[in-house]
Structure 1
Amino acid sequence: MTPKSLWLLLIALHSLTGCSDNKSYTAEQGFDNGRFTNDEVATNDVGLLDAIYSIYVEGSPFSVPNEDLPVVHPALDKMEQQAAPSFVKIGHSTILLRLSGHYWLFDPVFSERASPSNFIGPKRFTPPAMQLEDIPKLKAIIISHNHFDHLDEASIKTLISRTEHFYVPLGVKSLMSKWGIKDEAITELGWWSENTLGEVSLAAVPSQHFSGRSLTDKNTTLWVSWVLFNDTHRIYFSGDSGYFSGFRQIGDQYGPFDITLMENGAYNTLWQTMHLFPKETVQAHIDLRGKYLVPIHNATFNLSTHAWFDPLEKIDAIASERNVTLITPRFGDVVTMDDIERFQERWWRDYLPKSNNQQ
């Protein structure tokens, strides 16, 4: 069976288990005729066959590395000894942040595949920098949207017992409740909504994307990016987004940011308004008034046609042209605000294919 037919069968079967909470939200929350919408463009409607053909047939011969990429075991004791914020890139968009003396985890995906199946679908080529059993007690898990490479059922269920609270976009709460999380431990937020947990404030702010985990629940839940801040520092986490004017609005309302954790990978002309190309990632960081740009959403899964190293190579060149400080830690490196500029090594260049025809 070809990748196309496998994926069609998988998604068709999974459509029977799609989950939405059947809630009625308001037009002010971006809800229209049973679906959430973007402010500036329609959500992308690429057909499943077109997406599969693009990735698996037209994709780069270097979609995955020829050898294992470097992964180091995070030194959590270093994070706990620092008063300044610190973070670890665990893989893809999974980020462990320490802020105000507590751990916060963005979009935890520890499974082998970004898929409703454990035997087909995008398979990770870089293992997570931490095992689930090594994740420390969490103040909160923060979810940007419900796609499988950002919201993983097995990871969430494993982490329930050591997580104080969960922050999710509108419509996602019912799925989390179904997975066994108590309602009082879940806060569901729409765009421009805020909440406070301890000394940290969280704001769900707009992104330009789409949602869905089956053929039947497209855009029945919202997609967001996140702002976390305390009295001294501000962090931005993009989730997934295409480029739009909202980045400047977020920068005006919540910036400047010490760190922007920005999507940079899985771009494709088929869905160019739903994901950031490297040039747009840099521009969005500038719009946000960020100081240090950390590219995420790459070097883990093959989710588009570009080579695995293409997002990093391109953003490095563009950031240099725009005088943007690009921070590129390896998976597992503990990065603190006190030593963040040390993490500018272009480590991936040691793993580029030995070919003059890399693209």
Structure 2
Amino acid sequence: MATFTASIRRALGFSAARRGRESFETSAQHDGERFRNVKPRPVEGFGKTLSIAWTMLFKKPAGTAPTGRLPVETLSREQLLAAPDRSLYRLGHSTMLLKLRGEFWLTDPVFAERASPFKRLGPKRFHAPPIALEDLPPLRGVILSHDHYDHLDRDTVLALASTTGVFLTPLGVGDRLIEWGVDAAKVRQFDWWQSVEIGGLAFTATPAQHFSGRSLFDGNSTLWASWVIVDGDLRVFFSGDTGYFDGFRTIGERLGPFDVTLMETGAYNEMWPYVHMQPDETVQAHVDLRGRWLVPVHNGTFDLAMHRWQEPYERVSGLALARGIPLSTPRMGERLDLGAPHRGDKWWREVAEKTDIRVEEPRKQGYI
């Protein structure tokens, strides 16, 4: 019984991060008990939380998941090793594989079939990853934005631990990795605005407006962040999860302009505007950052809201066109040249129109 209880606690992330508590207390983002945003999150009662849960479970409208098969370009290790520098591949949701200076970096890795602490419950993937986890080349590093299940999967992290050089995380998230068994020597934790240089690349953890936690008992015990990646004359911004806030303008002023912004566009709703951006806010945040090419992410993999699955692509593409912003929408697994991005086609429309085609069983080797 004790072993069973311990496994449940681990799966739900019950154990709050404690190892770095001293560094937490020196963080301006920590109030002595929990991490917080610059602008306080509105107090939401239990009634609203219950209403959201009820709607998500029992009143979700049709169309939040595709009935057609999504186009995924499969990848091989040999293909990735032969790819030129400054290549980016979307592997799903907010999982991006970047090749910079001959080495590979992975953001928010989730190769699990579900964004959930449970194997058979929770949001299920629309598509298999373009490459199986075991086929990935060794990684120079993994970049984590926060500890939610659709951004941090325990089994994926543990599978990558032996072939990854370093894990870059916000404060407290690294402690979770260490508790799971990742070598502490490989874990680097950062407060907002802290930077590190690795292999000629500069990484800076930057502010975001969100929250954290993997259970009902550990809310905001770890920090959340966006990330800036600089490779010589190339500047890339990765938003992680965030609501719209003044911090984008500050990041743009201090660390911009950006050649490419990888921006959250999906899982939004008027019931939770503080922690996820609507598409018009995504576009405005890109402008605030002084971005050039906008790549919408956090979409196309999991059913996490009440909007139709293709809506984020449609809305952000229309808004970007109206404002003259170059938008790139690569298919999952399609190579994007960070130095010279291409626009990509509107692949989601073809899928949405083929409602008579059912989703095929995923390639099992892509999951863990």
User: Structure 1 length as normaliser, TM-score?
Assistant: 0.90
Task: Give 3-state SS (helix, strand or coil) of 2:331's partner.
Answer: coil
Work out the CA distance in 2 between the residues paired with 1:186 and 1:206: 20
Question: After superposition, what is the alpha-carbon deviation per residue over 1:277-299, rounded to whole angstroms, capped at 9, x for unaligned?
Answer: 10000111111111110000001
5+ residue gaps, structure 2 = 1-7, 356-368
TM-aligned CA distance change 1:345 to 1:179, over 3 Å: same
Aligned match of 1:56: 57
Aligned match of 1:6: none
Decide whether the 8 Å contact of 1:96 with 1:103 is kept in 2: yes
Question: After superposition, what is the alpha-carbon deviation per residue over 1:330-350, rounded to whole angstroms, capped at 9, x for unaligned?
Answer: 000011135522x42111110
Work out the CA distance in 2 between the residues paired with 1:16 and 1:292: 36
Deviation for aligned residue 1:198: 1.2
Aligned match of 2:366: none
Residues 225-244 of structure 1: pairs in structure 2 closer than 5 A: 225-244=226-245
Task: Give 3-state SS (helix, strand or coil) of 2:349's partner.
Answer: helix
Work out the CA distance in 2 between the residues paired with 1:55 and 1:12: 24
Task: Give 3-state SS (helix, strand or coil) of 2:282's partner.
Answer: helix
Question: After superposition, what is the alpha-carbon deviation per residue over 1:196-253, rounded to whole angstroms, capped at 9, x for unaligned?
Answer: 1111110000000000001110001000000111212111100000000100111111
Percent identity, aligned pairs only, is 41
Deviation for aligned residue 1:56: 3.0
Task: Give 3-state SS (helix, strand or coil) of 2:286's partner.
Answer: helix
Aligned match of 1:36: 35
Deviation for aligned residue 1:13: 10
Aligned match of 2:349: 349
Q: Within the alignment, does 1:156 sit opposite 2:153 as a pair? A: no
Aligned match of 2:125: 124
Q: Within the alignment, does 1:20 sit opposite 2:17 as a pair? A: yes
Aligned match of 1:109: 110
- Quick check: 56-65 or 145-154, which moved more? 56-65
TM-aligned CA distance change 1:278 to 1:16, over 3 Å: closer
Deviation for aligned residue 1:58: 3.3
- Quick check: 82-91 or 92-101, which moved more? 82-91
Decide whether the 8 Å contact of 1:75 with 1:334 is kept in 2: no
Decide whether the 8 Å contact of 2:94 with 2:297 is kept in 1: yes
TM-aligned CA distance change 1:128 to 1:16, over 3 Å: closer
5+ residue gaps, structure 1 = 1-10
Task: Give 3-state SS (helix, strand or coil) of 2:105's partner.
Answer: strand
Decide whether the 8 Å contact of 2:85 with 2:102 is kept in 1: no
Work out the CA distance in 1 between the residues paired with 2:326 and 2:69: 27
Decide whether the 8 Å contact of 1:43 with 1:210 is kept in 2: no
- Quick check: 260-269 or 68-77, which moved more? 68-77
- Quick check: 78-87 or 191-200, which moved more? 78-87
TM-aligned CA distance change 1:258 to 1:13, over 3 Å: closer
Deviation for aligned residue 1:18: 3.3
Deviation for aligned residue 1:43: 6.3
Deviation for aligned residue 1:33: 3.4
Deviation for aligned residue 1:312: 0.5
Decide whether the 8 Å contact of 1:146 with 1:212 is kept in 2: yes
TM-aligned CA distance change 1:16 to 1:105, over 3 Å: closer
2:18 alignment partner AA: D
Aligned match of 2:187: 186
Aligned match of 2:313: 312
User: Structure 2 length as normaliser, TM-score?
Assistant: 0.88
Deviation for aligned residue 1:77: 5.2
Aligned residues: 345
Q: Within the alignment, does 1:283 sit opposite 2:280 as a pair? A: no
